[in-house]
Amino acid sequence: MIAPRPHLEPIHRTPDDTESRLPFLRLDMNERIVPFPESLMQKLREAVTADVVMSYPELEPLYQTIAARTGVDRDELFLVPGSDTGIRTVYETYIDPGQIVVLHEPTFAMHDVYSRMYQAQVRPVPYNSRLELDVDRYLDAITPDTRMVVVESPNGFTGTALPVEAIRIIVEKAHAVNALALLDEAYYLFSGQTVQPLYREFDNVIITRSFSKDLGLAGLRCGYLLSQPQNINSIFKVKAAYGVSSLTAVFAKVLLDHPEEMAAFVTSVQAGLAHLMAGLRGLGLVTVGGRSNFVVTYLGETVDIPRVIAHLREQHMLVRRPFRVDSLRGWLRIGGGSVNQMDRFISEFGGILHAAGWRADSYAPPDGVEAAHA
Ligand SMILES: Cc1ncc(COP(=O)(O)O)c(C=O)c1O
């Protein structure tokens, strides 16, 4: 065997799924599960012509549409095949071996892979028991030797968000030590807030956004980076010849041209999440987050979470495997859909909870969590 580069040796990747997830109610990967209206799917079919399929992708119409809809300039944008690739591109452009990346824990799983690929030294800061970031601890972790600071808000594991003002303070500190601030807004339309103005104010800010979550296009792989033009020019140097496909660009544009459909989807998920949280509280459980398209609920370490997950699977529902990060042990993440979809989940989940070992009299949520929901 020809050995790969030595620093790739410790990287562990989850094998690809061999079984289709499509027949299931997919509450496990923060995807859209509310179907697109047939009228929109029809528009997509009409937009996919033979020329679109045969020619190399033309992304300019999508660039112009994003610029117009988000109020940014064309030269402040960089389209990527999923924000996963956007994040990788940032590492590829800016991170040299040995440089320090400050990450909160949990954070999007691919940071672990990219930091190893690009040989960064990660300085992790764990979330507190309420699954929130302690901003003062994070600021302390940003030192003159820091190359990049990552802020994910809302967080993709907990659904908790930082106030924009707190993110601003982190960006200022990063700026003061000449470090990049990578701000991940994968769920921003659900959260009702954005850090968008910060990239114009600070030349060290790169914002990454995904079309997988609030636009619901996870299968098409699309997202973009947003930053000052000189940063976009640097990032452009490492771009693949063609990344985002024609079909992706065509459908993303169709969707962006229907803001009423985007808004209706966000509203339906928010109503579903409110219903889910009320249902979980009705079962006696605490919940946290909900600023994205999922909720986390604390079951406790005595509950057999794999059994809960196996039971739901038998009922054709997928939820995420138990968390491995220490600060998330005992928590379960549940994806959000319509009120009806959430009803289906609550009734199955309520049926297995006691059988899996949950007891109201011994239930003890982590410090501070009950207070936050009182
Ligand atoms: C916070 C966060 N960032 C980035 C991503 C990657 O999204 P995608 O590559 O589908 O655009 C995810 C996906 O779950 C996420 O939760």
* 169 pLDDT above the threshold of 60: yes
> Please, which pLDDT band fits residue 374 given cuts at 50, 70 and 90?
very low
Instruction: Tell me the average pLDDT across 33-62.
Output: 95
261 lines ligand 1 (CB under 6 A): no
Residue 97 has pLDDT above 70, yes or no: yes
Query: What residues form DSSP beta bridges with 171?
Result: none
Q: Are strands 121-126 and 25-27 parallel, antiparallel or unpaired?
A: unpaired
Q: Is the CB of 82 under 6 A from ligand 1?
A: yes
193-222 pLDDT, tens digit each: 999 999 999 999 999 999 999 999 999 999
- CA-based angle 174:163:215, to the nearest 5? 100
The residues near 1 (Cβ < 8 Å, ≥ 6 apart) are: none
Q: Is 105 helix (H, G, I), strand (E, B) or coil?
A: strand
Query: Mean pLDDT over residues 140-164, rounded?
Result: 97
What token pair was written down for 169?
A: 């303070």
Residue nearest to atom 15 of ligand 1 (CA): 156
Q: Report the separation in Å between the CA atom of 108 and the middle of ligand 1, taken as the mean of its atom positions.
A: 7
For residue 87, give the ligand 1 atom closest to its CA.
4
Global confidence as pTM? 0.97
- Any ligand 1 atom below 6 A from CB of 185: no
Separation of 146 CA from ligand 1 center, angstroms? 24
Q: Whose CA is nearest to atom 16 of ligand 1?
A: 156
How far, in Å, is the centroid of ligand 1 from the Cα of 99? 23
Report pLDDT for 216. 97
Average pLDDT, the chain: 95
Assess whether pLDDT exceeds 80 at residue 277. yes
Write the burial class of residue 126 (CB in 10 Å: 0-12 exposed, 13-18 middle, 19+ buried): middle
CA of 84 to the centre of ligand 1 (A): 6
- Name the range with the highest mean pLDDT among 47-51, 141-145, 325-329: 141-145
CA 258-264-265 angle, 5° bins: 95
pLDDT for 367 = 87
Ligand 1 centroid distance, CA of 209 (Å): 8
- Radius of gyration, alpha carbons of the chain: 21
Pocket probe for ligand 1: among 27, 79, 103, 108, the residue whose CB has the most ligand atoms within 8 Å is 108
User: How many angstroms is it from 118 CA to the middle of ligand 1?
Assistant: 19
Query: Is the alpha carbon torsion for 105, 334, 18, 86 positive or negative?
Result: negative
Q: Quote the percentage of the chain above a pLDDT of 70.
A: 99
Strand partners, 183: 151, 207
Task: Evaluate: CB of 83 within 6 angstroms of ligand 1.
Answer: yes
Residue 371 pLDDT > 70? no
Q: What is the structure's pLDDT at 321?
A: 87
Q: What is the pLDDT of residues 300-327, one digit of tens each?
A: 988 999 999 999 999 999 999 888 888 8
Residue 372 has pLDDT above 70, yes or no: no
223 lines ligand 1 (CB under 6 A): yes
| CB of 152 closer than 6 angstroms to any ligand 1 atom | yes
